[in-house]
């Protein structure tokens, strides 16, 4: 493990590092700074010390025995007692990778109530489920979950650990990676096993989506990645699958730094990533008042409204509705794309849509390259006609 080191000869006992520490990890003994077990290795104290007395001693890479690590783990996040759809997508990919590597696929499920969901994880491919049911896990507080992950990773030593790139997954995964001293590739769009080295190849868009970077984690374990909802294909459920189930206790929480006083949701919970029908619009919609037409069409066909980043930037829609590289990845059965040019950053979010109808006034618009059905024309007029027909 890496550790914070204080050079006692250089330390003057000024106390600046103690003031800078957000986790109460430093105190004074004999007028010298001392570090305790609260240290998260954030490094803020290093910058605060004018005497360069503090440093992080990195763990010796040679010390990690990679051969001890085996198996693929998927974190099964729940929301209001339901397993999130991205978990089933991860299990599908996890199964494929585990068959290739000849190892077990394990799902981890932690909350105050989980037992009713265990069989579902097995039905979607988990060979083994590790669960922890504890009141301390009712609220999604990173610090409680990190303790549990730390304990389990050190005990069972998984080779690969996957999270959904949900709000919680994006917050938790990097903290777990930092705690156990490994790397993390966020927002992967492709996961493959390299045939020669057996390493997990983690591919994600880089440099504004202009190229795809394939990242490996050769020296540390587990190899960790987050994957956005809707990117991986959902596999079939098999309710006759059988698997091993292991209950684990909640470890002692050393310190609770955060207390949730109230949960305030801003309007409706984002559901666009799970939507089966989407009417998606871009700048070609022309004016903000035309957005009511888009919402009406979506309502008539039982769909959600999606938008390009341009519409979020000019305030015609909320970020929750944005589709693309920096928004949601969607996988609807039907996507109607209206007045959208088809920038690469937008297309990155719709590659799993089953059927795409494009309406654009420019016959050369790049978005036509992904269209199953093409309408060259004014999208506002087409939307009005569709509404009139459906209302008839």
Annotated binding-site ranges for FAD: 283, 308-309, 322-326, 339-346, 360
Judged by CB, which is closer to ligand FAD: 226, or 325? Answer: 325
Instruction: Rule CB under 6 A: say whether 346 interacts with ligand FAD.
Output: yes
Annotated binding site: 283, 308-309, 322-326, 339-346, 360
Which residues in 189-248 contact ligand FAD (CB under 6 A)?
Answer: 208
Residues 6+ apart with CB under 8 A from 219: 61, 64, 66
Question: Residue 347 Cβ, how far from ligand FAD at the closest point, in Å?
Answer: 9
Q: Which residues does 308 contact at the CB level (< 8 Å), separation at least 6?
A: 280, 281, 282, 283, 322, 323, 324, 340, 343, 346
What CA dihedral angle connects 353, 359, 360 and 366, to 10 degrees?
A: 20
3-state DSSP call for residue 392? coil
The span from the CA of 147 to the CA of 304, in Å, is 38
CA-atom Rg of the chain in angstroms = 24
Give the burial class of 151: count Cβ atoms within 10 A of its Cβ; 0-12 exposed, 13-18 middle, 19 or more buried. middle
Burial 46-74 (b: 16+ CB within 10 A, else e): bebbeeebbeeeeeeeeeeeeeebbbbbb
* 283 touches ligand FAD (CB under 6 A): yes
What separation in angstroms does the CA of 153 have from each of 72, 169, 179, 360?
11, 17, 10, 51
CB of 387 to ligand FAD, least distance (A): 15
Query: Smallest gap, in angstroms, from Cβ of residue 143 to ligand FAD?
Result: 31
In sequence order, what are the beta bridge partners of 355?
334
Residue 48: which of 97, 98, 14 has the closest Cα?
A: 14
Nearest distance, CB of residue 208 and ligand FAD, angstroms: 4
Residue 98 or 280 with smaller CB distance to ligand FAD: 280
CB of 391 closer than 8 Å to CB of 370: no
Using CA atoms, how far apart are residues 229 and 358, in angstroms rounded to an integer? Answer: 23
CB of residue 358 vs ligand FAD: minimum separation in angstroms? 9
Q: Which of 7, 345, 351, 352 binds ligand FAD (CB under 6 A)?
A: 345
Nearer to ligand FAD, 164 or 342 (CB): 342
Which C-beta is closer to ligand FAD: that of 15 or that of 366? 366
Size of the site for ligand FAD (CB under 6 A): 28
CB of 328 to ligand FAD, least distance (A): 8
Which of 8, 362, 372, 373: binder of ligand FAD (CB under 6 A)?
A: 362
Q: Which stretch binds ligand FAD (CB under 6 A): 33-41, 75-83, 119-127, 336-344?
A: 336-344
Closest CB to ligand FAD among residues 164, 327: 327
Q: Which is nearer to ligand FAD, 221 or 228 (CB)?
A: 228
Using rule CB under 6 A, residue 339 touches ligand FAD: yes
Q: Is 94 among the residues that bind ligand FAD (CB under 6 A)?
A: no
Distance CA 380, CA 285 (A): 6
Please answer whether residues 365 and 381 qualify as being in contact, where contact means their C-beta atoms are separated by less than 8 angstroms: no
Q: Which of 201, 214, 318, 341 binds ligand FAD (CB under 6 A)?
A: 341
Is residue 169 at the binding interface for ligand FAD, with CB under 6 A as the rule? no
Tell which positions 365-384 bind ligand FAD, by CB under 6 A.
365, 378-380
Q: What is the DSSP letter of 320?
A: G
CA distance 130 to 150: 14
**HSE of 135, CA atoms in CB hemisphere, 13 A:** 0
> Least separation, in Å, of the C-beta of 363 and ligand FAD?
9
Report in angstroms how near the CB of residue 188 gets to ligand FAD at its nearest: 16
Q: By the criterion CB under 6 A, which residues form the site for ligand FAD? A: 208, 282-284, 286, 308-310, 322-327, 339-341, 343, 345-346, 359-362, 365, 378-380
């Amino acid at each position: 493990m890496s550790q914070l080191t204080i050079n006692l000869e250089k330390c003057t006992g000024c106390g600046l590092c103690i003031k800078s520490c957000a986790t109460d990890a430093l105190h004074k003994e004999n007028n010298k700074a001392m570090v305790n077990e609260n240290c998260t290795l954030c490094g803020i104290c290093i910058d605060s010390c004018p005497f360069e007395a503090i440093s992080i001693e990195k763990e010796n890479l040679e010390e990690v025995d990679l051969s001890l690590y085996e198996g693929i783990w998927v974190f099964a996040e729940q929301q209001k007692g339901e397993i999130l759809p991205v978990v089933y997508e991860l299990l599908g990919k996890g199964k494929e990778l585990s068959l290739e590597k000849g190892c077990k696929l394990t799902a981890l499920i932690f909350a105050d109530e989980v037992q009713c969901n265990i069989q579902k994880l097995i039905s979607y491919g988990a060979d083994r489920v590790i669960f922890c049911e504890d009141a301390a896990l009712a609220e999604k507080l990173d610090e409680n979950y990190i303790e549990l992950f730390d304990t389990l990773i050190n005990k069972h030593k998984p080779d690969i650990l996957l999270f959904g790139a949900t709000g919680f997954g994006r917050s938790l995964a990097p903290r777990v990676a930092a705690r156990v001293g490994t790397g993390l590739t966020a927002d992967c769009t492709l996961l493959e096993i390299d045939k020669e080295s057996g390493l997990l190849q983690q591919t994600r868009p880089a440099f504004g989506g202009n190229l795809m970077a394939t990242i490996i984690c050769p020296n540390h374990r587990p190899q960790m990645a987050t994957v956005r909802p809707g990117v991986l294909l959902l596999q079939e459920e098999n309710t006759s699958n059988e698997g091993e189930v292991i209950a684990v206790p909640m470890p002692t929480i050393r310190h609770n730094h955060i207390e949730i006083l109230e949960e305030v949701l801003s309007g409706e919970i984002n559901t666009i990533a799970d939507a089966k029908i989407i009417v998606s619009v871009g700048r070609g919609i022309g004016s903000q008042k035309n957005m009511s037409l888009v919402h009406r069409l979506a309502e008539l066909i039982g769909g959600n409204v999606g938008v390009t980043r341009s519409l979020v930037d000019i305030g015609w829609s909320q970020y929750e509705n944005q589709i693309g590289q920096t928004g949601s990845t969607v996988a609807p059965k039907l996507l109607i794309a209206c007045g959208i040019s088809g920038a690469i950053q937008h297309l990155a979010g719709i590659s799993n849509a089953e059927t795409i109808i494009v309406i654009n006034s420019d016959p050369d618009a790049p978005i036509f390259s992904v269209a199953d059905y093409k309408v060259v024309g004014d999208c506002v007029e087409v939307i009005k006609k569709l509404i009139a027909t459906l209302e008839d």
